[in-house]
A and B are shown apart, each in its own frame.
Chain A
Amino acid sequence: MDKQLLDRLMGQAEKPVRYMGNELNMVIKNIDSVDIRFAFAFPDIYEIGMSHLGMKIMYHLINEREDSYCERVFAPWTDMEELMRQYDIPLFALETKDPIKDFDIIGFTLQYEMSYTNILNMLDLGQIPLTWAQRNEDHPLIIGGGPCAYNIEPMADFFDLVVMGEGEEVIHELLDLYSEGKKQGLKRTEFLYKATDIKGIYVPRFYEARYADDGRVLEVLPVDKGVPPVISKRVVKNLDKVFYPETMIVPYMDIVHDRIMLEIFRGCTKGCRFCQAGMIYRPVREKSPQRLLELAEKLVENTGYEEISLSSLSTGDYSQLEELVKELMIRFKEKRVALSLPSLRLDSFVKDLTHEVQGVRKTGLTFAPEAGSQRLRDVINKGITEGDLIRSAEDAFKSGWTRLKFYFMIGLPEEREEDLKEIGTLARKIKDCYFDTRKTKGGPMPRISISTSSFVPKPFTPFQWVAQSSMEELADKQKLLQDVLRIRHVTYTWNDPGASLLEAVFARGDRRLGKVLIRAWQSGCIFDGWAEHFKFDAWMAAFEKEGLDPHFYANRVRDKDEIFPWDHIDVKVTKKYLWAEYQKAVRAELTQDCRLGCTGCSPGLLGEGLCP
């Protein structure tokens, strides 16, 4: 590959730093002194991929190994892709600019369904055959992980191997085996067969799905007796002892999350019924404040970042939040390092705390009530009352915030028209609250933004059985909200129902969808998560040509006992528990936060002593 030409081509692209690498704290190794060349691939552009905490952890973790060199690769934006194709430059890793086709392993992280065509496009740009059936011993091993890996079935044709659960421990076992296999000259299938002995590793080619005449899955079974019929997710036991990077790459360009990310805990105890992350990342495990302070010191020293954010699914629930926040603020005040608290949940919004946080930095505040009415919030087990919401808004206004953002979902199970109308009522109350709270007339006007996303039923949640609202219904609901939210100082934004339909198809899809993905990609579908690139008609044409009905996957109610394409994956929350939660949802019954007492989701986690 002509690296000088590549260097000049970058200069022609809109943002060359996306491809340049050489950032502060980038790991440099001599490629002749390592056995394994690993490319960590994020199927979106640099500024999104570089904001991802999992990548930072895995990158530095793999690079701790003397025998391995982990580099990064992202989806080039369309302008760069055009140049690369024009000048025949294969997809390369940022560190060495070497083509990823020459690597041993390419590990994709599967964060959202709408990135699937980007994965195909990256393989193709990398001059690597898309399916494992087309690849041979000379091609890199294509592996995956991340939340979407739990139902990898729509992508089963493309991946050699998938990791279920947290990667910190399993990656070492896998790389040890790979290195051993390389020395012994193991064939690809021999290596993969051995890899199935590692807990949490799923090799799609060793399983076969059978379907009923009506299209439902009958079973997904191993084709060989030696591979496990059920694959269990991996869970890290002690978050204080597990690896966490003490340094992070500091990008030159402005990325989405351009700050130190301090992971304070994993898992979530709230039990929101729509939330896949809340189910699959169980159980809750915290890092201690001591460990966090130690990490923060090192990260500030090594990166020079001016901001730290606390990262978790529900930061307000960290058991020692106040102590931690206070200590962090005291320690870094001198150095002018600010602290931001993202994804604050209303119910755990501490008034005194916001006063102190505000002292350092004031940005827009975001709330996620998810549903407009109390009844519907009970259905989804979002234990927030209207009182909580108004009080939080009032506190925010009193502390000087004027811009508040509220996230809602539409198309939730059991949703009625009045639930939607209540979003409008709530918006009005919040606006009124601003004018009641302000001390003097004049001054800034409030900016209240309401945004809705369309509910996508996800596997491994209590709503995995429900039908997604049709696109027409979703469009009607958006229209209703446009009317209801025509309020001064309130803006309303919504998203494309077509994109939500596709997300729903692939979230609960099966292996037959691989063909649709290839066809859609061939007809130009990439960056489907980007509104300006999303080609709905091309997608529908792809479904039609492959004889598959997207509505069968998205808009169909499943029976209690239906076999799902992902039933052979064990995320340690039982199907029985999920069904019981679904039934409680229908009755609008709440389930308590499991920090207050076990709700019985997982005999498995209890049995392994992972849950207190």
Chain B
Amino acid sequence: MRLIARYTKDERVKYISHLDFMRLLQRTLRRADIPVAYSQGFSPHPKLSFASALAVGVTSEGEYMDIYLDKEMDPKLFLTRMNEKLPLGIRFMEAVTLQAKIPSLMSLIERAEYRISLSHKPFWGRNIVELIQKFMSRGEILFTRVNKRGRNQVDIRKMIHNIRLTEQSEEKIVLDVVLSTGSRANLRPEHLIEALFDFINVEPNPELNLGIHRRDLYLNKNGAWISPKGLGGGQEID
């Protein structure tokens, strides 16, 4: 039996890395007595996967897990048992059964929506809506990624699908953004912030980034962007 479940990760646990989160869930599944299916082979491991890795330091209300069980189980019972055993800061919100033939969520997800809070200070006195328009109207936005293999410059413009100012106060500004995520194209929200600061010639520092929150993930179904929340419950993907 296959389930997909949505869960949240709040401030209290936002620094748990993806790998550590995987281990935490395995332990919780054991404590909650969930009949997880195990893979065959030399070192059997539980059959579960995540729709998308969440960066360290980011909170979320739109995380999804794909899990196979050995026995039938009411998704509601799955939720209750998991929530009884999870540490504070992580909660399973919904779970639905899903046909096994549907590809893994991980391979379907292409976009993520984030809510980014920034200090208002570096933007002070500017018209932020106009600023975003200018930022987005460029044909390409070059960003230098630094990783283990070295530095490489990429155009991130086509991975930014939307930026919208949703709140503005003396202390902070809040942006809702939609970015590419997944194996085909991936833009980390921190990198968008860096590119924005670069655009206004501000040196990024820990005091300016007030928090990143993932709101949901999206997959493309017949040209429309839908949340995995819309999966299951009788609905199927062809």
Contacts and interface: CB of A to CB of B under 8 A. Distances in A.
Interface of A: 5, 7-12, 16-17, 20, 22-26, 28, 250, 252-254, 301-306, 335-336
B27 A20 contact: no
Interface stretch (B61-69, B84-92, B178-186, B213-221): B84-92
B11 interface: yes
B233 interface: no
Nearest to B19: A254
A80 to B, nearest CB: 12
Interface in B48-92: 56-57, 85-89
A23 B28 CA distance: 12
B13 interface: yes
A24 B87 CA distance: 5
Given A8-B209, A304-B28, A253 B56 contact: no
Interface string B163-184: 0000000000000000000000
A252 B16 contact: yes
Interface in B1-43: 11-13, 15-17, 20-21, 23-24, 26-31, 38
Contacts of B87: 22-26
A251 B87 CA distance: 11
A252 B86 CA distance: 12
Given A22-B89, A303-B31, A335-B30, A8 B206 contact: yes
A254 B11 contact: no
A601 B38 CA distance: 54
B206 A250 contact: no
Contact of A304 (B11, B57, B85, B207): B85
14 contacts: A11-B15, A11-B56, A16-B56, A16-B57, A22-B12, A22-B13, A25-B87, A26-B87, A253-B20, A302-B31, A303-B31, A304-B27, A304-B28, A304-B31
A17 B16 contact: yes
Given A8-B209, A10-B15, A306-B26, 7 more contacts: A22-B88, A25-B87, A250-B27, A252-B23, A303-B27, A304-B27, A304-B28
A79 to B, nearest CB: 12
Q: Which 3 A-B pairs have the closest CB atoms?
A: A304-B27, A16-B15, A304-B31
A16 B58 CA distance: 12
A16 B11 CA distance: 13
Contact of A306 (B11, B27, B38, B210): B27
Contacts of A28: 88
A248 to B, nearest CB: 12
Given A250-B27, A252-B24, A11 B12 contact: no
A28 B207 CA distance: 29
Contacts of B207: 5, 8
Nearest to B36: A336
Contacts of A302: 31
Contact of B31 (A10, A23, A253, A301): A301
A351 B29 CA distance: 34
A252 B90 CA distance: 13
Nearest to A250: B27
Contacts of A20: 12-13, 15-16
A305 B16 CA distance: 17
Given A8-B207, A22-B87, A23-B87, A304 B30 contact: yes
